Amino acid sequence: QTVVTQEPSFSVSPGGTVTLTCGLTSGSVSTTYYPSWYQQTPGQAPRTLIYSTNTRSSGVPDRFSGSILGNKAALTITGAQADDESDYYCVLYMTPGIWVFGGGTKVTVL
Amino acid sequence: QVQLQESGPGLVKPSETLSLTCTVSGYSISSGYFWGWIRQPPGKGLEWIGSIYHSGSIYYNPSLKSRVTMSVDTSMNQFSLKLSSVTAADTAFYYCARITYATNWFDPWGQGTLVTVSS
């Protein structure tokens, strides 16, 4: 069974840049997996950041960007702010009609 | 503005069936989109449970398929989840969400509801 992998945690300084990745235990992530990214703070429902690899959801600041880096999907936060401290989840679309979430990355801003 | 709201019992006994409903406002379910359920055990990650189209096309997580049933009630603008033979491992926050199938993303999400499995 293919598992979607994410780094368990990352730390970034205020104003710094961090890139989170979303990979597969078997194979490479491409745009055909329609990677999307979600931000979740404690006690809240997930909030959509990026869909279809690199399209920002409405209202999402442009410091969040999505891409494919090598064989993984990536979420980059440029100019990190204190309120970016959250859990970040990617999800990949595995045809036909199956979605698989990564385990999530906890981002600390300090 | 599309909004989703989960409802159902917050406590279910082991071996019984968990039943939840997601009520959609601001959009007619029968107009399109897939509609999905996602869960999150306290302190853990997200898990996709299943997705349903208003016409009845359904996809389930293979790891839960034997215990999951989803349905749509277009007259009430709701969709539902049933999970049978629950154990403590099914204790989780349960979220419903709209899924844009062409680009395969989840938005918006409901606020979530905690279901605890305990005797």
Distance from CA of B89 to the nearest CA of A (A): 17
Question: Which of A45, A101, A104 minimises the CB distance to B48?
Answer: A101
Query: Each residue's pLDDT tens digit in chain A (110 positions)?
Result: 789 999 999 999 999 999 999 999 999 999 999 999 999 999 999 999 999 999 999 999 999 999 999 999 999 999 999 999 999 999 999 978 899 999 999 999 99
Taking contacts as CB-CB distances below 8 angstroms, the residues of chain A near B47 are 101
Query: Each residue's pLDDT tens digit in chain B (119 positions)?
Result: 999 999 999 999 999 999 999 999 999 999 889 999 999 999 999 999 999 998 879 999 999 999 999 999 999 999 999 999 999 999 999 999 999 988 889 999 999 999 999 99
Q: Can you tell me whether residue A98 is helix, strand or coil?
A: strand
Q: Give me B77's structure tokens.
A: 């603008």
Q: What is the DSSP string of B37-48?
A: EEEE-TTS--EE
Q: pLDDT per residue over A9-25, tens digit each?
A: 999 999 999 999 999 99
| Chain A residue at shortest CA distance from B63 | A1
Q: Which residues of A60-80 are buried (b: 16+ CB within 10 A; e: fewer)?
A: beeebbbebeeebbbbbbeeb
Are B46 and A46 a contacting pair at CB < 8 A?
Answer: yes
Q: Give me B26's structure tokens.
A: 């601001």
Question: Which of B107, B110, B111 minimises the CB distance to A48?
Answer: B107
| pLDDT for position B101 | 81
Question: Which of A47, A93, A101 minimises the CB distance to B46?
Answer: A101
B69 backbone dihedrals φ, ψ, rounded to 5°: -135, 130
DSSP state of B32: S
Are B48 and A100 a contacting pair at CB < 8 A?
Answer: yes
CA distances A1 to A18, A21, A26, A73, B105, Å, are 29, 20, 9, 19, 22
| pLDDT for position A2 | 80
User: Which residue, among A49, A52, A99, A105, would best test binding to B if mutated, counting the most B CBs under 10 Å from its CB?
Assistant: A99
Percent of chain B past pLDDT 90, that is, above it, reads 90
Sign of CA dihedral B6, B11, B13, B14: positive
A63: left (phi over 0), alpha (psi -120 to 50) or beta: alpha
| pLDDT for position A4 | 97
